[in-house]
Amino acid sequence: MSKIKICVIVFAVLAILGAAVLTYAEPAKVGQVIYITRSKACGCSAEKVKVADKVVSQVFTGPRQALVKRIDYDTDRQAAVPYIGEFRLIQLPALLLLDSQGHLLWSAIGNLEPKQVVQKLNQLGG
């Protein structure tokens, strides 16, 4: 067999094995939760914030509480701006579920539904 044929066969086997490894990779897990809220919201925004604050307080209890980093846009804008820019947030409140490297796994913007948040946390191992 020629060296070229051997190289092609070896490359094909490695490609197949690489695809198999990628197929069995562990799914991403929640490593951190960023909750950006507003303490000085008014009107209908204030109502959304109030509901979202309640959802976050109810869902993130016990061990889950350690996952959450709460940022108030109105009092700590400097901490919120990097997330707003990176994830292109155009509305608050925002709940961001991130993996351990800071990649976005899921987000809820504006209206937070407790069942949906719990379902995603369970699905993503948070």
Question: What's this model's pTM, rounded to 2 decimal places?
Answer: 0.77
- Ramachandran area for residue 97 (φ above 0: left; ψ -120 to 50: alpha; else beta): beta
| Cβ–Cβ < 8 Å for 29, 124 | yes
Query: What are the pLDDT digits (tens) for 47-106?
Result: 999 999 999 999 999 989 999 999 999 999 999 999 999 999 999 999 999 999 999 999
Highest CATH level, class, for 32-123: alpha beta
Residue 91 and residue 12: Cα distance in Å, rounded? 48
Rg, Å, the chain Cα set: 21
